[in-house]
């Protein structure tokens, strides 16, 4: 179910946002945020509206609706007022006439927004306080809908909002880096397999994580490249990329906890799989469900998905897992300096992974709101990549302690002491 939610919501991840409303929905809503865009200069907008499947009785009838544009500071002032009085604080108000027709004629309007010399975040709001459409067209016309599209872009064609600028460059670098990293580590894995005649399952785990990260980065890169051109991107690629990222994070989390338990070093066959595997999937599903619900209830007025209770809840999950991971790693049996050194590094890398998100969420609260999204998204990208590199190095370094202490590196007689 969550995957379906992600796919649907990822399709709306663009600076050209389209929303549709039934007559029943319009009757219940008065002030509806449609889209937001950050810029350091002049912002162009294009508004497109139409009536979908109108009743024949209303052919050629015209409706007048209004849209209001708020600069970030003016919007904060407007929030202190009742919805239908907020128009007094709007930077710009535009009216648009929609003509009802069976061919679903589209009404369009274009313009520009200019305010000051510094960065600004603009919010486009559909003012439905007059209920111009839904009080005329009867509510029982279930198939009749109002479609509204607001498209923002900078002067010169820049489709990326201020908080997203630079993201394509970062993703491009990570894409190249992860693909090279996957090829490099795959060759090492094959070499180790030929040397020992068996798979190192812990290292295979890492290889799968790197491969998924490379695929996720590649799909995200392709989506953002198209997004740069049309402000919409490739919705399917964006959705699949997000799903892969969730799976990737989940696998890395599982690997860290398994290693903290001593897997591949003190034992290979684990008891109570029937308990731990469902529990692990329950944690992953809970996190995914929280994100999905957060997307459903979030609006264009939010600076990012993790701004409210979603961010705090996920942070609590990660902090709890960090404490459990650290406790589990400290419970391992001591078998010499090599083991101690391995677990010392593992604890550092694991805590880096689990505490990265809560840390960046905290930092995002200390900066300008438009910077929060970039701090959380890019920060977590780099930390996840750094963590994967460090984990791979922990397994494959020439002087790696893991190679000295893992069960794979021991003779079959010695393995019997640990299994």
List the single range of 129-133, 241-245, 351-355, 400-404 with lowest mean pLDDT: 400-404
Q: Band of the pLDDT at 301, cuts 50, 70, 90?
A: very low
Which residue is associated with the tokens 């860290």? 256
| pLDDT above 90 as % of the chain | 8
At residue 290, the pLDDT reads: 61
400 against 321, higher pLDDT: 321
Please provide the DSSP assignment of 213-224 as one string.
Answer: HHHHHHHHHHHH
d(C-alpha 391, C-alpha 46), whole Å: 48
Residue 124 contacts residue 45 (beta carbons within 8 Å): yes
d(C-alpha 419, C-alpha 417), whole Å: 6
Tokens of 382: 């780099």
Q: In terms of DSSP H, where are the helices of 298-406?
A: 309-330, 337-364, 369-396, 401-405
At residue 7, the pLDDT reads: 37
d(C-alpha 358, C-alpha 70), whole Å: 31
Task: Find the helix or strand (DSSP H, E) in which 16 lies.
Answer: strand 16-22
Tokens of 324: 């459990």
d(C-alpha 113, C-alpha 88), whole Å: 17
Q: Dihedral sign for Cα 383, 384, 387, 393, please.
A: negative
Cβ-in-10-Å burial (0-12, 13-18, 19+) of 278 comes to exposed
The average pLDDT across 286-296 equals: 61
Tokens of 369: 């709101």
Please check the confidence at residue 184 and state whether its pLDDT lies above 50.
yes
**Average pLDDT for the chain:** 78
Give the pLDDT confidence of 254-274 residue by residue, as tens digits.
888 888 888 777 776 666 555
List the single range of 67-81, 125-139, 199-213, 269-283 with lowest mean pLDDT: 269-283
Cβ-in-10-Å burial (0-12, 13-18, 19+) of 159 comes to buried
At residue 289, the pLDDT reads: 64
* CB neighbours of residue 206 within 10 Å: 21
Radius of gyration (Cα) for the chain, nearest Å? 26
Tokens of 176: 């190249």
229 against 170, higher pLDDT: 170
Closest CA to 369 of 69, 161, 156, 68: 161
3 against 312, higher pLDDT: 312
């Amino acid at each position: 179910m969550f995957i379906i939610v992600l796919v649907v919501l990822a399709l709306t991840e663009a600076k050209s946002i389209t929303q549709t409303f039934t007559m029943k929905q319009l009757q219940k809503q008065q002030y509806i945020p449609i889209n937001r865009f950050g810029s350091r200069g002049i912002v162009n907008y294009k508004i497109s509206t139409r009536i979908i499947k109108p009743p024949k009785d209303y052919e050629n009838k015209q409706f007048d609706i209004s849209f209001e544009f708020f600069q970030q500071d003016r919007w904060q002032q407007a929030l202190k007022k009742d919805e239908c009085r907020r128009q007094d604080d709007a930077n710009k108000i535009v009216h648009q006439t929609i003509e009802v027709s069976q061919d679903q004629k589209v009404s369009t309007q274009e313009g520009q927004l200019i305010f000051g010399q510094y960065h600004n975040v603009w919010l486009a709001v559909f003012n439905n306080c007059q209920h111009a459409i839904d009080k005329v067209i009867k509510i029982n016309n279930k198939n009749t809908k109002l479609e509204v599209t607001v498209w923002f872009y900078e002067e010169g064609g820049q489709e990326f909002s201020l908080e997203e600028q630079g993201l394509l460059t970062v993703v491009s670098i990570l894409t190249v880096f992860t693909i090279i990293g996957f090829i490099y580590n795959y060759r090492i894995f094959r070499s180790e397999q030929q040397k020992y005649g068996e798979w190192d399952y812990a290292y295979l785990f890492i290889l799968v994580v790197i491969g998924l990260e490379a695929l996720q980065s590649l799909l995200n890169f392709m989506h953002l490249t198209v997004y740069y051109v049309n402000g919409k991107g490739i919705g399917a690629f964006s959705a699949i990329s997000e799903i892969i990222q969730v799976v990737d994070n989940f696998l890395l989390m599982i690997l860290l906890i398994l290693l903290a338990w001593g897997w591949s070093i003190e034992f290979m066959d684990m008891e109570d799989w029937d308990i731990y595997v469902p529990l692990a999937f329950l944690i992953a599903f809970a996190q995914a469900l929280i994100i999905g619900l957060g997307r459903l209830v979030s609006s264009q007025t939010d600076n990012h998905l993790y701004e409210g209770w979603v961010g705090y809840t996920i942070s609590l999950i990660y902090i709890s897992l960090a404490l459990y991971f650290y406790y589990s790693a400290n419970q391992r049996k001591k078998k010499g300096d090599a083991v101690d050194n391995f677990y010392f590094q593992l604890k550092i890398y694991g805590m880096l992974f689990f505490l990265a998100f809560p840390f960046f969420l905290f930092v995002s609260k200390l900066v300008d709101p438009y910077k929060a999204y970039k701090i959380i998204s890019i920060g977590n990208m780099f930390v996840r990549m750094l963590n994967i590199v460090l984990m791979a190095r922990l397994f494959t370094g020439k002087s790696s302690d893991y190679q000295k202490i893992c069960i794979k590196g021991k003779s079959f007689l010695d393995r019997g002491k640990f299994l």
